[in-house]
Amino acid sequence: MKIIVASKNLGKIQEYGQMLAPLGFEVVSASDVGISAEVSEDGATFEENARIKARAVYERSEGLRPRGVLADDSGLEVDYLGGEPGVFSARYAPAGQRRKTVLDRLNGVPVENRTARFVCCVCYIGENGGEIAVRGECEGYIGFENRGENGFGYDPIFMAGEKSFAEMSDTEKNAVSHRGAALRKLMGALNDNG
């Protein structure tokens, strides 16, 4: 069963592929099936942005007969920064400077005030056009330096327990991550809906 993931982020597509393959789903990106859907992520929330992306790809997937279209919007919320970068996580600073910007803004802030969470909102549109929206979160804190070689984005500075996301294996990360939590909720909802 094919699911189109409305993302250009190869890290996200890979994570979805790893998590959905054991359930019998083949994950492909929109570009893999010839869909170009440039959308303006101008929603005020992660949920709104996920829906905007999913709907744009779904409307262009007619005739491709996927099982469904899945899109997410996710990001990092740092309590000390008033929830920033939030929905602007991918645009918080120039490419290659995002983690440094967060670390610089937290310079001198003690560990107990560096609480943060990753948030992932997934919108799934089934082949009949019905929507399911779910939210997953992972609580943690911002470390003091980049740690680890795995993952992408803010993973090297986000600590979940004693390890950064970038220090975890794919299996470890998927078990605790915001994306894993959202996907487990989605799979439960899909099972409930038959």
Q: Is 73 a residue of the active site?
A: yes
Query: Cα separation of 16 and 106, whole Å?
Result: 31
Do residues 141 and 160 lie in contact, with contact meaning Cβ atoms separated by under 8 Å? no
Radius of gyration of the chain (CA): 17
CA nearest to 141, candidates 94, 185, 102: 102
DSSP assignment letter at 85: B
Do residues 86 and 21 lie in contact, with contact meaning Cβ atoms separated by under 8 Å? no
CA nearest to 186, candidates 57, 71, 24: 71
**Helix spans in 121-177 (H):** 170-176
In a 3-state reduction of DSSP, which class is residue 46?
Answer: helix
Q: Which of 73, 79, 155, 192 is catalytic?
A: 73
Residues catalogued as catalytic: 73
